[in-house]
Structure formats: structure tokens, C-alpha cells
Structure 1
């Protein structure tokens, strides 16, 4: 397995992976995803045999705060530590940053707890009011 920064040439494969993992309602088309990734400070893929099997992106100021977004691993490759490796690659270079995320998907809270995340009672949220098509 290779963990590396996402590249422009990966966008279609990332879009396919995220769509298969239930993120289609958040992606829009490939161009929209490309803009999301371009606006993110970090985007990392896991690749096995030249196939992208995992993805994570992060938004951060690089100094104090960060947001983990869109963690996905292809169903056939789950349970092998790929998600853990991706998140670690995203957050490990920056121990001084407080990382936050939304853990609303089934199993997400348990997964992130294993990586040192804890539930917070101080976060607030203003949900989006426009659906991406």
C-alpha cells in the first residue's frame, strides 16, 4: 500500500471511491470535487496496485485548528488499517493542531476514538442550507 498526496489525475478515481462509499450527496460532479480538494490544505490517498482504495482530506490553518473531512475506504479493503493510516498521515505532521470532525456515520465515533479523538460538548454547528447537486 502506498500513502501519498492526492494529485489532479486522481480526481475521477477519488470521485468514484467516495460515491461508492456513500458520499455522493456531498460531492456534486467531478469538477465540484476537484474544487473541494483544491480548497483543502491536505488531501491524501491510499493506493494498492495502482488503484485508489482510500481517501481523506483536511482543512487547516496549519497552526492551531484543523477539520478532518471525507474519510473513505473501499468496502473490499476495510478492516485492514487503511483508514487509520490515512487519518494518521493527515494529522500526525501537526501535533500542535486541534483536529475536529463530524462522526455521524455508523461506526465513526468508535473508529476515531481509537485514534485519540474524544467527544466534545463544546462544539457548535451551523448546517448547510443548500444541497449539492
Structure 2
């Protein structure tokens, strides 16, 4: 069983390990707690018992627009609905924060997850690499 918590507590090491696994990079010494608590209206932690098995950050513009960033699920829990559960709880939290839109940006191979599983409507978007 997986439990989802809006604005749940997490240790930096937990999310850093999940991020490294999800994006295939080395462990970084990031202050993820400081980053999300300082800039986001919320985030969602998914736990199976005490283990963090999923995480998504919800950033925003301070008004109507929220954005899901870094939807992450451990390899052992992928394709079990955890990602869909994270996004659903993120949408609820953004709605509670009085946001009117929830945006996502993803690579093409994730479109079936974003559109078919989570219900995002495809829209054109632009990107400038910096």
C-alpha cells in the first residue's frame, strides 16, 4: 500500500537518491527541503511504509498557474499507479492553493503517462536551453 501526503516531510537524502535514480545521475548535495519549502506551494511524497517511493514538486507563479516538476518513482514501484497518484494529489493540492491551471512539460516518450494516464491536455510549448 502506498500513502500520499501533500507537503509531507522528507529528508534531503531521500529525494536526492530518488532524483539520481530517476534521472540517472550521481548523488548531489542539494538542499531539496529548502528549495521546495522556499519556492513551492506544495509537493507530494508517496511512501510505502517508511520508504519514500515517489515524489513530485509543484512550483507556481504565485497565482493561477502551477507546474509539476520532477515526478519521480522508484524503479521497483514504476508502472503500479504511483506516478498517477502523485499527479492526482498534486492537482488536488494546487486546486486547494487556488491555482487554476496545472502545467506539465515532459519529453515525448512521457506523453502517454502525462496525457493518457494523468489527464493533461497536450499543448504546444517552447523551450530555450540556457
Give the TM-score range, shorter chain: 0.7 to 0.9
Instruction: Tell whether the 8 Å contact from 2:45 to 2:56 is kept in structure 1 after alignment.
Output: yes
CA distance in 2, matches of 1:61, 1:99: 11
* Distance in 1 (alpha carbons) for counterparts of 2:122 and 2:65: 16
What displacement does 1:62 show?
6.3
Task: Check whether the contact 1:62–1:97 (CA below 8 A) recurs between aligned residues.
Answer: no
TM-score, normalised with respect to structure 1: 0.79
Q: TM-score, normalised by structure 2?
A: 0.80
How many residues are matched?
Answer: 123
Unaligned runs of 5+ in 1: none
Matched, 1:3 2:1: no
Q: 2:34 is matched with which residue?
A: 35
Whole-Å separation in 2 of the counterparts to 1:35 and 1:23: 23
C-alpha RMSD of the superposition:
2.3
Q: Which of 103, 106, 113 is residue 103 of structure 1 equivalent to? A: 106
Q: Which residue of 1 aligns with 2:20?
A: 19
Q: How does 1:48-67 map to 2 (within 5 A)?
A: 48-61=48-61, 63-67=63-67
